[in-house]
Structure 1
Amino acid sequence: MAEGNVFITGAAGYVGRNLLRHFVARGHAVTGLVRSPEAADRIASWGARPVLGDMLTAELAPLMSGADRLIHAAANVDHTTGSAAASVNPDGTRRVLEAANAAGVEKAIHISTDSVLQDGRPLRNVDETAPYPDRPAGAYSAGKAEAERVARHAAAQGQHVVILRPRMVWGRDDTTALPVLVEAVKSGSFAWISGGGYRSSTLHVANLCHAVDLAFAHGERGAIYHVTDGPARTFRETVTGLLASRGLEAGGRSVPRAALRIIAGIGDGLHRLSGGRLGGPLSYQDYATSAVEITLDTQKAERELGYSPVISWEEGLGELRQKQRFRLFHCA
């Protein structure tokens, strides 16, 4: 049995459940925080101990009793204008880290996002020294940036907190990006943004799990690390590959980036002026996330953590295709 009792918030979410299964498979005792009995049953079926509670309201320290490692993966990921993400994410992070400190947890990993740097302009090969923007793209960017500040403050006060920034997590049992793309294509609403030729970093969920392992072993207190799959591909190549794993093609329809930016800005303005009653087809947060180049420099993680991907883009796509064929076989 491996040493270490790992506590994971957001344990039923896409990132959380993959981390949970990763550490269970390595012989760790794992406790997962979830908010429903149904999620608790799933956690238990994967070999972990579920605990029920909301990070905003539960007495978290007793739930973390006995844990020496924390992975804070819980987050409000709502990209709509004026979402609760602006307050939920920093408030939740503060409560989780305070509880971990009280419970004597030795090391914590805060799962952040490239969204903390988004303001709608391209981010080309940015490293960890890039400043937070003066005007974040939306509530999600603002809330996750503030959550990072909370984590950095906790580290400055002496907690061993390490921050990982992934970009566009994908892979097996994806319940985030891929289902949205599939639905858009099937409904006929998908269109490339200015042809999709801009580059985008990605991170397979297995590579994220590997990065968390390395961050626990080698991460410096208070440090931020960018992690990706390696050299970035174009957004078009990325989406084409993901859709092909489901036997789908995106087609050639395209909309100009400038027009989409205007539409997103008008929609956000309508939302604010109407008190949330009106809005557009997409938020400016959506635009900033998917319409411009976002590529991350990972040299710091390579140098300090010894990070390199454990699964390649091609291997990840092969895994998705294999699982799709398995599902089709069992449905036949």
Structure 2
Amino acid sequence: MHKLVEQLTSAYAVSGDERRLHDILRSALDGIADEIHDTPLGNLIAIRKGRSSEHSILFAAHLDEVGAWVTRINDKGFLGIHCRSIDERVWPGLQVVVHGTEPLPGIIGLKPVHVMSHDEMNKPVGPEDLWIDVGFPREQVVTMVPIGSTVTFTAGISKLMNERFAGKTQDDRLCGVALVEALELLKDMTLPYDVVMAFTVQEEITGNGAWTSGYFAHPDVGIAVDVTHADTEGVPEHKTIPLGGGPGVAVGPVANDHVLELIRRRAKAVEIPTSEEPCMSYSGTDADALQLVGSGIATGVLSIPLRYMHSPVETADQVDVDRTARLIAEVAKGFDVAFIGELYGTDTH
């Protein structure tokens, strides 16, 4: 497993806290990026300069992880939370970390079944049932946990068989690893145009990180690199792609025809297996925001297969991370004068 996978997935950074990852990334990017920029919103943008800066291609992977925010403290010192994009059924029984004035371990428990009424046993878990116990009485808790403090799953990776592993925050830190790996593959090559790697913020809540990265770089092409649903028991096959089968490639309105064809060509040329994913509306990735920058950016989406998304046991295969990194590098190499001609016709700006 790539050391950077463990470093990034072990860090805590709910939307708004992404700068906590910058030192890790700056160290990983040392020597393989020509420029590194920290934007006011918190994006970290690495640029590999090409022979010409007249055109550029941007790859975006978001840094934020799903989590929760403390919204209230009851008279017993238990913390009520608001969670976004996480199934409430995931939380009960978990160990969590509360990021107050200092990190506090906590647990989320439910009323034991022994003292539940029949109706309570059959009732779905709702947000009003989720309370965090950090072990302190209210008078101490209120001094240590300001309202708005973030809550994350506890870090830790479980190594499975066949190069597979599980843990929190594979979404989307694995794609950040893929961007770094791609720059490593490109470091000794002369590229036609600039390649921009945007490590974006707030994808899980607003998409504003991608939007502002697009305005920062003004690329000709923007490709979101995110995760997608891998084959999972109980999920229809047509809604997933195979774990270990290589990256997904979005097809549909979010995928510019020329960008899609570039991805297909480069994958075929180096025999990287891919799975095409129908995406008939919003993609739920940074590509949705990138499309809206300026007069519009030609976009595409590459996806690493992932099981059990938005849970503390997100499961991935290292081979998919490596293949995605290789494909990113190949697409960057294929972003050349001929492709610019295809993208704009006779008008090459």
TM (normalized to structure 1)? 0.33
- Bigger Cα Rg: 2
The structure richer in helix per residue is: 1
The structure richer in strand per residue is: 2
TM (normalized to structure 2)? 0.31
